[in-house]
Every structure is written in C-alpha cells, then in structure tokens.
A = this chain, B = another copy of it.
C-alpha cells in the first residue's frame, strides 16, 4: 500500500510505501537529503519537519531532538517509518550547505580553490587584429594569473567554434593553470569539486560547490576491493600475483568511486561532468592501488612504497568519471603505513600548530596515532586489524540496520540496535561496549577470559554469566536469542578486540615515550574516523583503548580525513600545508623498536 507524501521544497507529491524508511524513500525519489551516516542515526543531519506521515518517536529522537524541535514536528528521517499520508519539509538546502561548509570541525574554510571560474570578454578579431583564438583567450586570462595558462588538445580543437558561438565572451573554468571548460557568458552552471577518502573498507565522498566553498552533500560506500581481501596486506598480495590483477583491483576501486559519485550527484541533482577536481586521501596502499602502482614494497621490509609525494593526474587516466578535463589531486603521504588520510587528519585538527600536547587517533582497519607537541607532530601506524569495523568477528557487521551499536551491563543488561530492528550482529562501537561492560561487570577477567557463573565472583557477574555458553574450551556470551536466530560474542571475538586495542594503545604509549610526555600531560584527545564518532568515550577508557584521560578532554571529530580532503579542495594553502606536514611529521616505526613487544603484551590485558 502506498500513501501520498508532499515534499517541500520543491513541493513534489511522492507515493511512498507504507512501512518504508522515510530517509531511504526520499533519497530513492531523488530528494537531496544530507545523511553522511547513511541512516545509522548518528549524524543527526537528516532532521526534517513532518505533519502526518508517522506518529511514533524513537528513543533516539527523544534523546537527540530538543523539546522545541519536537513541538514543531521535528524528526530524524532515518528513524521514521512511513505510516500515513502527510507532508515533509526538508532542511533548507542553503542552511544545509552553510552548515556542512563549516567543515566537520565547525570552522569555516576560506575559499581559495584550485578550480576557478573566470569571466572573459575578448576583442573580436578584425583584419587589423588577427590574433589567433587561443592566443587571444590565453593573453586575456594571463593578465590576472600568476603564470602561463595552458589547454589540452581536446579544448583547443573546439575553441574556434566555441568562441564564435559565444561571441568571444563567456566563463572559463580553470583547473590550476589549465583551461578546462568554456561556458556561455553569464553561465550559472555548477563548478564542483569532490573530496574522496579511500579507506580499506569504506569509500567516502564529499561534494563541494566551488563557487561558494560549501559542502553540498556527503556519502559513503563499501570499497568493492573488499572481496579481494579485508586488509591492505591481502590486497597487496593479490595485486602481486600478476599485472592483470593489479589492474583489476585498480578498475574495481575506480568503479566503486564512480558509483559513489553517480549516487552522490544524483541525490544532489548535480552533474558528474561538472566536477572539475577531486582531492584524494587514503592509506598508501589504497592510493597506490588507485594509481595502479606496485605496492609490494609497502609490505616487505624496509617498507618503502612507490610514491608518497602529492600527485596531480588527469581524471581520464584513472578512469574517474568527472569532467573529461578534470584533475585528480592526491595528497602526500608520510610513510608506507602513514598515508594521506593521516596528513588530512592533521590538517583538520591543526595538530601542526599545537602548543601543548594533543593526541589524535584515526580508527580504521589501520589505526593511526598522532601526537602533537611543541617539538612537532609524531605519528605511528598500528595494525589494529578489521575488528573495529566488524571484521574477523563472528557476528561482526558494519554499523547498519540490525547492528548492536551500544551495550550496557550495569545496572542491568540493555542494548540498542540500529534502526530499532531485530539484532543481526555487532558493529565496532557495540563490540567495544560489550567487552568494556562485560569486563566492568566481571564476566571478563583482565586477561579477557569469558567466565562461567561458577568462576564469576559478584552476584551481578554471576547473573550475567549465565548467558555464557561453554562448549569445551569455546565460550560465547549470548546477547540475543530468538529461536534459531542469535547474536553472540565469542571468546575469539574478545581476543581479536584485545589485539586491536593492544596494538593501538601500544602506538599511543610509544609515541608518548618518544615525545617524553605522560597521559596526564595531554590536553586533548581527538577520536577520528567514521567509526570514531560512535564509540563511547568512557568505555574506550575502561577498556584501555585510550590512556586514562578525563572524559571532558576526549572529543569526537567525525571523519577527520574527509575534513582534511575537503580543506585541500577548497583552499590551496592547505595543499602547501599538507606538503609541509608530510615532510615535517616524525613517523615512528614501531616494528623496529626493542620496547614494542613488551608494551604490546602488557596492553593486551583489559583495563589499566
């Protein structure tokens, strides 16, 4: 059964299925609705006003929306199930852009992009002014450019017709010093850019209006390379098998990016062909793979990749479907395991200008740790593995509908499931909560062993421990059970999390040691990464993932890598700064250190 929903703006009547998720239904109908968390209920950006449609508020809405918002019919579209006819007011696009354009850290980025629109009005050729068409345009543009302007053959091949059609007037779009397009005079066609964050597991994209510097929308997608291996090492080994496989992975990645761009642009009602530049961050393996470079030497000692410098490549050479004369700008990396994504986080967090110690942690398949001090920024890369993203966990899954995303054992057992659905698995934030709470409640000991009722001490632990099922040495904690369907946390899952947590904490400890500071000296700790937004600070401390730091000094910054990529897209000075960061930051290679193993073993244990 379908019901009629009027959507404002633009004032369109949609027929939506009863039972459909409002956010998904709107996006499928082509409405621009910003929802970077893809419906997980965490970004809080899909706020709409409804009348009719649905009466049932979810617990999340009650918690996150103010009384005033609720009184005005405020809802989170991702939480709304379509039940009845009604009206939906979308957030005003301008307000949305302005907000997103502040950058994820809330600071406005001054507009100084590499892509610029330049109006031109040329004198028309006469018998006494026979300057050739391109020379005429180039002379005009160069009067206000720092150096010579250039053009590709494809533009030169059409310039004579184009200038005459437009009566020698128009709007030139420059990418750097290259004239990429000649629009008709007074054209208001979009001039867009896109920031891309290529993660081992997740591809994220942010679409930007480069006339205004505002972020239009953000979206994310699974990295399709995932079918060729969950982590960078398995991808590198796959690529190494043959040049064809290297090329295959490159094409898969670009295909994924193109699909993401297609969806991003369709939802925003923009044309991919009007994207003139992409800035790209990611770990070095992903960047090598995007470029089709040999990544073997990243993985074998002494861990030296093909390229860490920034690089500008024609989009067509990579197969990226933006403007045919668009460019791809890849930000510099620091070292083989400290990629451009880390440089971007440092850009976003301004760690480079720290005057008292600040710690930043980018949580992903590889965990990057950054420590800013008066003496500069130190970084280390830790092989956290895919546990935080649900990898190698029996019921692990990404943070989508059906995932247990938070958990508490004290005072009583309770958990939340994304989309208020029946639990299907556990995502990263749920995993941290589970292990931290079960440890706090005494169902897990310091060594990470799941205890049976007979082994668990206090009564609370003993009660919870009744959910621990033992089959020989295999133990698992039953979170949810309904007939055949169940979700459990296995002993092996706890071990995986211990390895991930131990690796990351070791990185933090060794960086502090290198910089000669203790946990008490750290003024601020920043958690970055798509996942970094959702973890419970307190539980991360309980677990020992981060050192014992007062909670008010721990902040979530969202996807800092994306924020940095956006900065580099919107402001050229950020690119210069990225270059400086990439050479100035001190990368500490953990695997070569004598104190690595001892520190790692110590931090495998839960708690402090």
**Which residues of A are at the interface with B, using a C-beta cutoff of 8 A?**
125-135, 138, 153, 156-161, 164, 291-294, 296-297, 301-309, 311, 313, 317, 333, 335-336, 587, 589, 592
- CB proximity of A444 to chain B, nearest CB, Å: 37
Cα separation A589 to B301 with both chains bound (whole Å): 69
**Chain B positions within 8 Å of A126 at CB level:** 302
* A160-B296, A308-B135 known; A301-B127 Cβ under 8 A: yes
Cα separation A303 to B294 with both chains bound (whole Å): 51
CB–CB B127/A293 < 8 A? no
**Chain B positions within 8 Å of A161 at CB level:** 294
- CB proximity of A256 to chain B, nearest CB, Å: 19
* A160-B297, A294-B160 known; A304-B153 Cβ under 8 A: no
**Chain B positions within 8 Å of A158 at CB level:** 294
CB–CB B291/A130 < 8 A? no
Cα separation A130 to B284 with both chains bound (whole Å): 13
CB–CB B304/A125 < 8 A? yes
CB–CB B309/A133 < 8 A? no
Q: What are 5 residue pairs bridging A and B, where the CB atoms are less than 8 Å apart in the complex?
A: A125-B304, A127-B592, A130-B303, A132-B333, A157-B292
CB–CB B156/A307 < 8 A? yes
CB–CB B132/A304 < 8 A? yes
CB–CB B313/A153 < 8 A? yes
CB–CB B306/A160 < 8 A? yes
Cα separation A317 to B314 with both chains bound (whole Å): 13
- CB proximity of A127 to chain B, nearest CB, Å: 4
- CB proximity of A564 to chain B, nearest CB, Å: 20
Quickly give the copy total for this chain. Answer: 2
**Chain B positions within 8 Å of A133 at CB level:** 297, 304-307
- CB proximity of A315 to chain B, nearest CB, Å: 12
Cα separation A323 to B278 with both chains bound (whole Å): 30
CB–CB B292/A153 < 8 A? yes
Q: A157 contacts which of B153, B294, B333 (Cβ < 8 Å)? A: B294
CB–CB A132/B296 < 8 A? no
- CB proximity of A468 to chain B, nearest CB, Å: 44
Q: A304 contacts which of B131, B294, B297, B308 (Cβ < 8 Å)? A: B131
**Chain B positions within 8 Å of A131 at CB level:** 304, 308
Cα separation A333 to B589 with both chains bound (whole Å): 56
- CB proximity of A291 to chain B, nearest CB, Å: 6
Chain B residue at smallest Cβ distance from A587? B130
CB–CB A156/B291 < 8 A? yes
* A160-B294, A160-B296, A293-B156 known; A134-B306 Cβ under 8 A: yes
Q: A302 contacts which of B127, B302, B313 (Cβ < 8 Å)? A: B127
- CB proximity of A95 to chain B, nearest CB, Å: 41
**Chain B positions within 8 Å of A297 at CB level:** 133, 160, 164
- CB proximity of A134 to chain B, nearest CB, Å: 4
Cα separation A136 to B211 with both chains bound (whole Å): 38
Q: A291 contacts which of B127, B153, B305 (Cβ < 8 Å)? A: B153
CB–CB B132/A308 < 8 A? yes
Nearest 4 interchain pairs by C-beta: A132-B308, A125-B304, A134-B307, A160-B294
* A153-B291, A296-B160 known; A130-B307 Cβ under 8 A: no
CB–CB B291/A157 < 8 A? yes
CB–CB A306/B127 < 8 A? no
* A160-B294, A317-B153 known; A132-B589 Cβ under 8 A: no
Q: Identify 8 new A-B residue pairs, CB closer than 8 A, beyond the known A129-B302, A156-B291.
A: A130-B302, A130-B303, A135-B308, A135-B309, A156-B293, A157-B293, A159-B306, A160-B306
- CB proximity of A155 to chain B, nearest CB, Å: 10
**Chain B positions within 8 Å of A156 at CB level:** 291, 293, 306-307, 311
Listed residue (A130, A291, A292, A297) with the most chain B CB atoms within 10 angstroms of its CB: A130
Cα separation A394 to B503 with both chains bound (whole Å): 90
CB–CB B589/A130 < 8 A? yes
Chain B residue at smallest Cβ distance from A303? B130
Cα separation A161 to B292 with both chains bound (whole Å): 14
- CB proximity of A150 to chain B, nearest CB, Å: 9
- CB proximity of A588 to chain B, nearest CB, Å: 11
Cα separation A204 to B294 with both chains bound (whole Å): 42
**Chain B positions within 8 Å of A306 at CB level:** 132-134, 156, 159-160
Cα separation A296 to B157 with both chains bound (whole Å): 12
Q: A305 contacts which of B129, B132, B307 (Cβ < 8 Å)? A: B132
**Chain B positions within 8 Å of A160 at CB level:** 293-294, 296-297, 305-306
**Chain B positions within 8 Å of A313 at CB level:** 153
Chain B residue at smallest Cβ distance from A247? B157
Listed residue (A133, A134, A160, A333) with the most chain B CB atoms within 10 angstroms of its CB: A160
Cα separation A307 to B157 with both chains bound (whole Å): 10
**Chain B positions within 8 Å of A291 at CB level:** 153, 156-157
- CB proximity of A142 to chain B, nearest CB, Å: 11
- CB proximity of A210 to chain B, nearest CB, Å: 25
CB–CB A132/B292 < 8 A? no
* A135-B309, A309-B135, A309-B138 known; A304-B130 Cβ under 8 A: yes
